[in-house]
Structure 1
Amino acid sequence: MSTMVLPRALTHTFILTGRALRGFIRFPMYLAMNLIQPVIWLLLFGQLFKSVVNIPGFTGGGDYLVFLTPGIVMMMALFGSTWAGTSYIQDMDRGVMERFLAAPTSRGALILATMLYQAVLTLVQTLVVLGVAWLAGARFHGGWLGIAVLLLSAVLLTFVFAAFSNAVALLARAQTALIGISQLISFPLMFLSSAIMDTGLSPQWVRTIARFNPFEWAVAAGRGALQGAPDWAAVWGDLGLLAALAVVMSWLAVRAFSSFQRSL
């Protein structure tokens, strides 16, 4: 029995991820709309705050654009993944979710497919942002390994908050509630981190909160890996925390799915 469950779950995951990607291919403007704000922030903040590197106590290196780019990548991953549950709300409203539940569809596959779909979007968007940053003059000394770790950090962050968004959607079952909760957590997580500003220049309470902020773990891991001489112990430590949290959030999303199914 167990030898048949895993292949079925993987097959369903592949099919459902393909379904989501086909919807994206039919509306590629979604990618462009998601990229507009991050690219504007990258170019605008990169110029407005480029003198920040001269402030005593700034530890982010001598090029603010290089410092900022990983933060923008993670902001994009965070904002996109917190909306992942929207697809569930739409499926509920259209009656598609009821058909999934009536069919022998793997419940885990329904969760994992949305996470993988968001991860694919995150990878594509991250590569575009890195290309824009390079054209704007940013040079990353971590090489291809550093870029690979940055991508991994962004994907793990996407998994964490896509799973969280799925759980919220399944429990709240309302688009307005999902939007409200997404907005409530996204901006505080972003500003209580080093995404835009070195936390060494922030008050002590911000530095304390940042140590427990999963968004900061992703930013720190990605930024650290892009340095010429990375502190790999710190980088892998942050990645390990993100991976563990992704597993916990995925488990919570599956539990939320079970609760949603029992309530029907």
Structure 2
Amino acid sequence: MSVEPVLVRAPRGWRGVRGLALRIGAFALVELQKLRHDRTELLTRMVQPALWLLIFGQTFSALRVIDTGDVSYLAFLAPGIIAQSALFISIFYGIQIIWDRDAGILAKLMVTPAPASAVVTGKAFAAGVRSVVQVVGVVLLAYLLGVHMTVNPLKILAAMGIVVLGSAFFACLSMTLAGLVRNRDRLMGIGQAITMPLFFASNALYPVDVMPEWLRWLSTVNPLSYEVNALRGLLIGTPTNALLDVGVLVVAAVAGVVLASACLRRLVR
């Protein structure tokens, strides 16, 4: 007696959205649990922004060579250092994808019912959560240095959300590059080659007004500039177009997820 196979349809509508969100959350949780094996990572991540503020920030504040208007240079610099630290964490996230491929983990993830976009989004969100500790750390350090920054918990939470969005885009950019080059050493070289240009071609260290014309153009197409603008508006109260800044970061993050998802399957071939 033959038994006819039962066709199980994939959930649609709200159930489909809920299922996708649960899968994304599961992948993000797996990534964040890796911190349990190296809890000192969160502290060591603070070394670089601390050095930038203590050495670079205080030195240029004393020199007074960069005009930052009504705010001190240290206050102007602090949000840029938060964005820079998140960039440095996220831009090498593709290396973890290649490690997962080499260990056979990625191939197992790709045969699950979860779409590639869920894997990418989960990992990108985890990269953002790893970066949010920089917000609290830099705000505390800035206060110790005598810099006035907001203590409004809602604004600090909003700044964390901005950091998550920015980190998600750069993590997706890294995963896209991983799918294209498919080699850990090559990806590390590319990451090092693009990190500093992204940083210096933004408004993290100096106002857009003091840039040469060609660098201003690069700054306007650099998502890092919009992340820094949004952080400055939230943390030190400088005028900013919040709708534009957040809109650019959301569009960049969504585009990053789409591109990285398209390249992810190429990585496991």
Same-fold call, TM cutoff 0.5: yes
C-alpha separation in 2, matches of 1:81 and 1:9: 23
**Structure 1 residue identity aligned to 2:52:** W
Q: Deviations over 1:61-116 (max 9, x none)?
A: 34111111001000011111111112211111111112222333432221111111
State the partner residue of 1:257: 264
State the partner residue of 1:39: 50
State the partner residue of 1:239: 246
User: For 1:1-264, what aligned pairs fall within 5 Å after superposition?
Assistant: 1-3=11-13, 4-51=15-62, 54-55=64-65, 58-141=67-150, 143-228=152-237, 230-232=238-240, 234-260=241-267, 264=269
C-alpha separation in 2, matches of 1:178 and 1:5: 35
Q: Deviations over 1:172-216 (max 9, x none)?
A: 221112212211221011111221122322323222321222111
Give the conservation status (yes or no) of the 8 Å contact 2:148–2:236.
Answer: no
Change beyond 3 A, Cα 1:251–1:64:
same
C-alpha separation in 1, matches of 2:205 and 2:31: 32
Q: Deviations over 1:113-156 (max 9, x none)?
A: 11111111111222112211122211125844543443232221
Change beyond 3 A, Cα 1:231–1:172:
same
**Structure 2 residue identity aligned to 1:42:** L
Give the conservation status (yes or no) of the 8 Å contact 1:9–1:108.
Answer: no
Give the conservation status (yes or no) of the 8 Å contact 1:159–1:246.
Answer: yes
**Which blocks of at least 5 consecutive residues in structure 1 are unaligned?**
none
Q: CA RMSD in A?
A: 2.1
**Structure 2 residue identity aligned to 1:207:** R
TM-score, reference length from structure 2: 0.87
TM-score, reference length from structure 1: 0.88
Question: Bigger CA drift: 11-20 or 179-188?
Answer: 11-20
Change beyond 3 A, Cα 1:194–1:102:
closer
**Structure 2 residue identity aligned to 1:161:** F
Give the conservation status (yes or no) of the 8 Å contact 2:68–2:76.
Answer: no
C-alpha separation in 2, matches of 1:226 and 1:255: 36
1:85 partner SS: helix
Question: Bigger CA drift: 219-228 or 246-255?
Answer: 219-228
User: For this pair of structures, how many residues does the alignment match?
Assistant: 258
- Between Structure 1 and Structure 2, the one with more helix by share is 1
C-alpha separation in 1, matches of 2:48 and 2:217: 29
Once the two structures are TM-superposed, the CA of residue 33 in structure 1 deviates from its matched residue by 2.8
C-alpha separation in 1, matches of 2:136 and 2:150: 16
